[in-house]
């Protein structure tokens, strides 16, 4: 029938609210904590390695946390976001004409974030931790991050080609703009700031948050670009031996870079 509703049209309200919510929690919150963890590289190799040990102390549960709390909500937000960006049917009256550029930029930065996050997770994490897949990715210069040699592998991955830091700079800027402006539009979606005066005040808050998160991103990027991977590796080898001896971490070949030389 000509006027039969599609699944998305039927559930538009719920999907829209879910899309809005996932942008804040877990995706937005994850990005802030993730950039703060990465920025801890400025406190030294030990500080960053300790933070990664803590995350990886989840052991076998880590894969469920990654997929359940990060990848699946992110994929839902991203895929529905691309749908919104292309269909262009939601919220066209949200911005006054003066703010129209923000409406357009929200969509453009969403698409940039899509490409960046896809490439970034392939670059560092490899997406799927299955042996044959990881070997294939590593051969292509991807899946470079090894959790027990966290700082040296992240730094080497970032320094492998000048195109990586350029991609990260553009990607971080797009994600941060998208997040900060998204907080502002969320306030309207959820009825937090309605009057023009309240919206102006909200502007200061969201751009303040955006500035701080951008600073974290730039600190992380600068930290990994300037770190000496060989020096960092020596510190990590010592930390690994001590941590295995004290029972703090479980030995795991897959989380070590090769060659891993004992002191
Ligand atoms: C991965 C690719 C992504 C795509 C394609 C995407 C797409 C979109 C689009 C099109 C909107 C506007 C929705 C509307 O105006 O109705 C939006 C909103 C939003 N996005 Fe994303 N996004 C992505 C990633 C992210 C990331 C990484 C974050 C957080 C760091 C995020 C946080 C938000 C927030 C908070 C909103 C505001 C929701 C609202 O207005 O109620 N998004 N996204
Ligand atoms: C300089 C900036 C960044 C650095 C150095 C960095 C570093 C890393 C590293 C090393 C991993 C692998 C973690 C692991 O396998 O255990 C990772 C994973 C990931 N990053 Fe980033 N990242 C940066 C920016 C971002 C941004 C802006 C986003 C946007 C949301 C993001 C989203 C993710 C996601 C979704 C994962 C996969 C989750 C996981 O591995 O558990 N990253 N990042």
CB count within 10 Å of CB 62 equals 14
Q: What is the pLDDT of residue 19?
A: 97
pLDDT tens, residue order, the chain (263 aa): 557 889 998 999 999 999 999 999 999 999 999 999 999 999 999 999 999 999 999 999 999 999 999 999 999 999 999 999 888 655 555 556 557 899 999 999 999 999 999 999 999 999 999 999 999 999 999 999 999 999 999 999 999 999 999 999 999 999 999 999 999 999 998 999 999 999 999 999 999 999 999 999 999 999 999 999 999 999 999 999 999 999 999 999 899 997 766 54
Contact 166, 221 (CB under 8 A): no
**What is the distance in A from the centroid of ligand 1 to the CA of 165?**
23
Preceding peptide of 26 cis, ω within 30°: yes
Domains of the chain in sequence order? 16-255 (1.20.1300.10)
Testing ligand 1's pocket by substitution, the residue of 95, 110, 117 carrying the most ligand atoms inside 8 A of its CB is 110
Phi-psi region for residue 126, left (φ > 0), alpha (ψ -120 to 50) or beta?
left
Q: Any alpha helices (H) in 125-162, and if so which ranges?
A: 131-139, 150-159
Which atom belonging to ligand 1 lies closest to the Cα atom of 82?
A: 5
Q: How far is 49 from 55, CA to CA, in rounded Å? A: 10
Instruction: Locate the ligand 1 atom nearest the alpha carbon of residue 117 and give its number.
Output: 1
Q: How far apart are CA 250 and CA 247, in angstroms?
A: 7
Q: What atom in ligand 1 is closest to the CA of residue 74?
A: 1
Distance CA 80, CA 235 (A): 43
Tens-digit pLDDT profile for residues 213-250: 999 999 999 999 999 999 999 999 999 999 999 999 99
List CB contacts of 222: < 8 A, sequence separation 6 or more: 42
Instruction: Report how far residue 196's alpha carbon sits from residue 96's, in angstroms, rounded to the nearest whole number.
Output: 10
Mutate which of 64, 77, 120 for ligand 2 pocket (most atoms within 8 A of beta carbon): 120
pLDDT at 172: 99
Q: What angle do CA 251, 53, 218 make, to 5 degrees?
A: 135
Tokens for 4?
């039969």
What pLDDT, on a 0 to 100 scale, did the predictor assign at position 100? 86
Q: What does the DSSP 8-state code read for residue 4? A: P
| Residue 3 confidence (pLDDT) | 74
Q: What is the pTM of this model?
A: 0.94
């Amino acid at each position: 029938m000509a006027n039969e509703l599609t699944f998305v049209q039927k559930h538009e309200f719920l999907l829209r609210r879910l899309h809005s919510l996932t942008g804040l929690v877990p995706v937005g919150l994850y990005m802030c904590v993730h950039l703060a963890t990465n920025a801890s590289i400025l406190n030294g190799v030990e500080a960053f390695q300790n933070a990664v040990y803590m995350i990886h102390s989840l052991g076998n549960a880590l894969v469920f946390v990654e997929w359940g709390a990060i990848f699946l909500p992110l994929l839902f937000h991203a895929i529905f976001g691309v749908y919104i960006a292309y269909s262009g049917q939601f919220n066209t009256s949200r911005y006054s004409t003066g703010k129209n550029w923000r409406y357009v930029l929200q969509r453009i930065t969403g698409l940039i974030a899509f490409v960046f996050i896809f490439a970034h997770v392939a670059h560092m994490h490899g997406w799927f931790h299955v042996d044959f897949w990881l070997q294939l990715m590593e051969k292509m210069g991807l899946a470079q991050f090894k959790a027990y040699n966290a700082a040296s592998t992240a730094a080497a991955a970032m320094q492998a080609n000048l195109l990586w830091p350029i991609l990260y700079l553009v990607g971080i800027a797009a994600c941060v703009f998208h997040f900060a402006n998204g907080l502002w539009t969320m306030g309207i979606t959820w009825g937090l700031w309605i009057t023009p005066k309240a919206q102006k005040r909200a502007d200061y808050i969201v751009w303040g948050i955006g500035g701080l998160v951008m600073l974290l991103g730039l600190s992380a990027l600068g930290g990994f670009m300037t770190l000496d991977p060989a020096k960092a590796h020596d510190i990590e080898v010592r930390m690994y031996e001590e941590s295995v001896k004290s029972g703090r971490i479980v030995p795991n070949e897959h989380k070590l870079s090769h060659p891993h030389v004992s002191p």
